Amino acid sequence: MAIRIIRTEEDPILRKTSRPVTKFDDRLGQILDDMKETMEKANGVGLAAVQVGLLRRIVVVDVGDGSGVLELINPEIVEADGEQEGQEGCLSLPDKWAIVKRPEHVRVRAQTRTGAWRMFEGEGLKARAFCHELDHLDGHLFIDRMEKMLTEEEVRRLQNERVNGKETDA
Ligand code: NI
């Protein structure tokens, strides 16, 4: 496994649309393993392949709820309901935090690393992470959808309140 470099806001690749994965081979497994390691090292709750420079529809999510690292390939939201408003950050925009509205609950259809289709369900932070990561696959960043940017002081206060040392950057 290897840590990959996380692309940041000024990199135009983040605005591009990722292409579907068609080969479920060893290389895909390697990418997933590297993405997982990169996300964990950065203390993030999610990472999309485009953030490490690969325009492929691949996402990893781990919101620390005990279900481990979820691997979503060619994911699509098939159901979304409710609404939540909360702070959101991104590993590609390390100094920015904003209030973003997202659905409270989503169902996502995606393939596993072997190509099998399965359903994922997310509520609260997990729903937020799914939406945030799937946005990356179409070149969208959370700042496109934000209600308001948080000030440095508000960010500091949130960092002090953060539980378990778990970031909410994705
Ligand atoms: Ni992000």
pLDDT score recorded for residue 1: 73
Cα-to-centroid distance, 22 and ligand 1 (Å) = 24
Contacts of residue 146, defined as CB under 8 A and 6 or more positions apart, other chains included, come to 88, 98, 99, 100
pLDDT score recorded for residue 168: 61
Answer with the residue of higher pLDDT: 161 or 63: 63
- Global pTM? 0.92
Q: Which of 67, 126, 78 is nearest to 102 (CA)?
A: 126
Ordered structural domains, the chain, with CATH: 12-163 (3.90.45.10)
pLDDT score recorded for residue 170: 67
Cα-to-centroid distance, 114 and ligand 1 (Å) = 25
Query: Rounded mean pLDDT of 42-71?
Result: 97
| Distance in angstroms (rounded) separating the CA atoms of residues 150 and 106 | 26
- Per annotation, catalytic residue among 71, 76, 79, 133: 133
152 is known as an active-site residue: no
Q: Coil, helix or strand for 132?
A: helix
Please count the helices (runs of H) and the strands (runs of E) in the chain. 4, 8
pLDDT by residue (tens digit) across 85-138?
999 999 999 989 999 999 999 999 999 999 999 999 999 999 999 999 999 999
Q: Residue 165 above 60 pLDDT? A: no
Q: Which of 44, 56, 40, 9 is nearest to 125 (CA)?
A: 44
Cα-to-centroid distance, 115 and ligand 1 (Å) = 24
Cα-to-centroid distance, 78 and ligand 1 (Å) = 21
Cα-to-centroid distance, 65 and ligand 1 (Å) = 19
